[in-house]
């Protein structure tokens, strides 16, 4: 009887130590947050005034997530809030700044994944949802499904009291002008998805991705952003990944999942796994990824001209970059 009681006390003590190590009260608890706002043809000749606007917006977005994590908040909240911020800014191709389809409409996609239990939610082809990332989270947390599309997704949004807007809300003159130029074959297709990956002080990894797709895409086209394993993935055993670039190629190569799989099955580091996918499996100009592993290591790698990106962590790092 005494031995059983001693064993029970020992187990309770070990459990207490483990739980305390996973809470923000533990001074050793750390966090890392990375985000991106698109990779592709980003000219270095960009006027300083425009560059400043992007840097300012990215800095504000990164601070949104950093402040949540610094106070012991969850990676789920940080990822959603950062992406919502980017969705509301017309400078980026998600939400308010979504590009035009070939018919002059907007179709938005988003996904989110929780590395704790591999739960995930995704939506595609929504036309009236102000913040698709919030709807994706609702799919994950409040439905028995993973993926909703089109009218079904918007019907679910109404049931969840998620804000819907008139399609005119997504209109942005700059995006409209880009679309007109593309129809005249005067401009290259520009990539521009947004994403965020966080490791919080509780040791949980979450990844989220949101996009308006590609300029002049055919209605109904869906890229990698809402597809778990292609443009988004998270697993606490390995890492969280959010991708941006040529969606079809990220789907064909299941980029996000393969980074995690190489870490889990081949014991590769995050850095080596990302390099293998971005520089050996994909071709120059295809895009890039941001990623965080379960130890807080991070990578922001790409093979295109540039990638809007940022990182912050509990060690004091805070960086916003566009090019190397």
Query: Which stretches within the chain are classed as H helix?
Result: 2-21, 48-70, 75-87, 132-142, 150-159, 173-183, 247-252, 255-266, 270-275
Torsion angle defined by CA atoms of residues 123, 127, 133 and 139, in that order, rounded to the nearest 10 degrees: -40
Output the DSSP codes for 250-278: HHHTTHHHHHHHHHHHH---HHHHHHIII
Provide the pLDDT for residue 15. Answer: 44
Distance, in Å, from the CA atom of 265 to the CA atom of 172, rounded to the nearest integer, reads 45
Average pLDDT over residues 244-270: 97
- Both 47 and 109 in one domain: the answer is yes
Domain extent, residue 1, equals: 1-26
Distance, in Å, from the CA atom of 83 to the CA atom of 94, rounded to the nearest integer, reads 9
Reported as a single tens digit per residue, the pLDDT across 281-302 is 999 999 999 999 999 999 999 9
Burial readout 178-199 (b: 16 or more C-beta within 10 A, e: otherwise): bbeebeeeebeebbbbbbbbbb
Output the DSSP codes for 87-136: HT-TTSSSGGGPPPBTTS---EEEEEEETTTTEEEEEEEESSBS-HHHHH
Between residues 190 and 100, the one the model is more confident about:
100
Distance, in Å, from the CA atom of 89 to the CA atom of 108, rounded to the nearest integer, reads 14
- Both 186 and 208 in one domain: the answer is yes
Contact 248, 194 (CB under 8 A): no
Which percentage of the chain shows pLDDT scores above 90?
A: 81
- Both 70 and 165 in one domain: the answer is yes
Per-residue pLDDT at 215 exceeds 50: yes
Rg (Cα) of the chain, in Å, rounded? 20
Reported as a single tens digit per residue, the pLDDT across 3-43 is 555 444 444 444 444 444 444 556 578 999 999 999 887 88
Q: Report the candidate in 184, 188, 185, 130 with the shortest Cα–Cα distance to residue 161.
A: 130
Q: Which residues contact 295 (CB under 8 A, 6 or more apart)?
A: none
Average pLDDT over residues 189-199: 82
Distance, in Å, from the CA atom of 128 to the CA atom of 216, rounded to the nearest integer, reads 19
Q: What is the token pair recorded at 36?
A: 């991106």
- Both 235 and 100 in one domain: the answer is yes
- Both 3 and 108 in one domain: the answer is no
Between residues 55 and 180, the one the model is more confident about:
55
- Both 18 and 79 in one domain: the answer is no
Per-residue pLDDT at 188 exceeds 70: no
Provide the pLDDT for residue 191. Answer: 52
- Both 7 and 86 in one domain: the answer is no
Per-residue pLDDT at 204 exceeds 80: yes
Provide the pLDDT for residue 185. Answer: 60
Q: How many domains does the chain have?
A: 2
pTM listed for this prediction: 0.89
- Both 251 and 173 in one domain: the answer is yes
Burial readout 260-299 (b: 16 or more C-beta within 10 A, e: otherwise): bbbbeeeebebeebbbbbbeeebeebbbbbbbbbbeeebb
Residue 166 CB coordination number (10 Å):
9
What residues act catalytically? 193
pLDDT, the chain, mean: 90
Contact 168, 219 (CB under 8 A): no
- Both 42 and 124 in one domain: the answer is yes
Reported as a single tens digit per residue, the pLDDT across 137-149 is 999 999 999 999 9
- Both 89 and 149 in one domain: the answer is yes
Per-residue pLDDT at 45 exceeds 80: yes
State the pLDDT confidence band at 189, using cuts at 50, 70 and 90: very low
- Both 22 and 75 in one domain: the answer is no
Provide the pLDDT for residue 145. Answer: 98
Give the CATH number for residue 113.
3.60.20.30
SS3 24: coil
Between residues 180 and 208, the one the model is more confident about:
208
């Amino acid at each position: 009887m005494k031995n059983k009681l001693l064993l029970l006390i020992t187990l309770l003590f070990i459990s207490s130590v483990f739980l305390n190590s996973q809470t923000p009260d533990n001074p050793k608890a750390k966090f890392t947050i990375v985000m991106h706002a698109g990779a592709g043809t980003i000219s270095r000749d960009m006027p300083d005034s425009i560059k400043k606007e992007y840097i300012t917006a990215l800095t504000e977005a990164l601070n949104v997530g950093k402040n949540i994590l610094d106070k012991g908040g969850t990676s789920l909240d940080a990822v959603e809030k950062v992406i919502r911020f980017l969705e509301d800014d017309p400078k980026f191709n998600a939400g308010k700044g979504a590009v035009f389809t070939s018919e002059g409409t907007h179709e938005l996609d988003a996904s989110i994944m929780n590395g704790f239990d591999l739960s995930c939610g995704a939506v595609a082809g929504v036309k009236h949802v102000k913040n698709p990332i919030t709807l994706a989270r609702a799919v994950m947390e409040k439905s028995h499904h993973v993926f909703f599309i089109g009218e079904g997704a918007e019907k679910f949004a109404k049931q969840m009291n998620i804000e819907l807007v008139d399609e005119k809300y997504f209109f942005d003159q700059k995006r409209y002008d880009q679309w007109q130029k593309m129809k005249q074959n005067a401009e290259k297709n520009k990539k521009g998805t947004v994403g965020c990956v966080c490791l919080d002080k509780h040791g949980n990894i979450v990844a989220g991705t949101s996009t308006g797709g590609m300029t002049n895409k055919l209605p109904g086209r869906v890229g990698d952003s809402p597809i778990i394993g292609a443009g988004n993935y998270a697993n606490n055993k390995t890492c969280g990944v959010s991708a941006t670039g040529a969606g079809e190629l990220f789907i064909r190569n299941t980029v996000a999942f393969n980074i995690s799989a190489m870490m889990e099955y081949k014991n590769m580091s995050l850095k080596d796994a990302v390099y293998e996918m971005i520089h050996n499996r994909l071709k120059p100009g295809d895009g890039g990824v941001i990623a965080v592993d379960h130890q807080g290591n991070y990578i922001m790698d790409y093979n295109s001209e540039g990638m809007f990106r940022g990182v912050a962590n509990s060690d004091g790092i805070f960086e916003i970059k566009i090019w190397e």
